[in-house]
Structure 1
């Protein structure tokens, strides 16, 4: 069974024809593409959408389809080698051994003293939640 897609075929033909147009150059209208390639308007629309998704074509409603501008070269990724040095646990011969002070973390994880309501969790303490008012409002609704 041969599963050829007219959309894929048209997209391949248009991809080959794109070299004829300068970046920003206008492609033929959908109507002209329908007549030239003897396909339906839906096929043309889907093929252009496929090329748009690939970044080769830009469509402007009411104005037509244009060859996409050349993308600027992406900047190289930043130097992250410092992370390996600063986050590694192993100390080199010429460096000071690293130690971790966990007292701040332990203080944060400790249970608060009695009578203290913590407000750092993002949720109200159960004592402060208006459960009765919300229940009454829900019953009225």
Structure 2
């Protein structure tokens, strides 16, 4: 092996031989690799580090190098190609620069006319919020004995019974 590419050469040769070992199978020792390929121990350690970085080998100090178990394949990602077109400004030469008509957005952000109750925001209109009733209920709950203490670890008996009735059907 030539000095200038000995690590790359060793990585290439070891990558080609990994099929001989079952997942989790132990590779030859560093000393055996030094003798077999006539390279330095540093070259062997760098080659094994490269294979480990690629996820093909797992090294355990004092135990040796082992063929990595196959990684589970990730679920295929969704098609996001529409975003490249929709969100592109003028980065790609083959894409037409996009302009956005913001009038629809501005209309939806504008305050509604008097007397109109909107339901599209996810929040109740202030006239529909029971603020006084909620404030009174929270004040009563805060004054109850034990309201500011920790509940028992096993849970509140009344709540457990309620869940048991609901689950038991």
Q: Which band: TM-score by shorter chain? A: 0.5 to 0.7
Cα drift, residue 100 of structure 1? 2.6
For 1:1-141, list aligned pairs within 5 A.
4-78=4-78, 99-101=107-109
Give the TM-score taking structure 1 as reference length.
Answer: 0.55
Unaligned stretches of 5+ residues in structure 1? 84-88, 91-96, 104-141
Cα drift, residue 37 of structure 1? 0.7
Greater RCO (Cα-Cα under 8 Å, separation 6 or more): 1
Cα drift, residue 80 of structure 1? 6.8
Give the TM-score taking structure 2 as reference length.
Answer: 0.47
1:5-31 deviation per Cα after TM superposition (whole angstroms, max 9, x unaligned): 111111111011101001111101101
The change in CA–CA distance for 1:35 and 1:50 in structure 2 (over 3 A counts) is: same
Unaligned stretches of 5+ residues in structure 2? 84-99, 112-169
Q: Calculate the aligned-residue CA RMSD, in Å.
A: 3.3
Count of aligned positions: 95
Over alpha carbons, which structure has the higher Rg?
2
1:48-67 deviation per Cα after TM superposition (whole angstroms, max 9, x unaligned): 01111111111111111011
1:62-119 deviation per Cα after TM superposition (whole angstroms, max 9, x unaligned): 11101111111111225779x9xxxxx88xxxxxx7643156xxxxxxxxxxxxxxxx
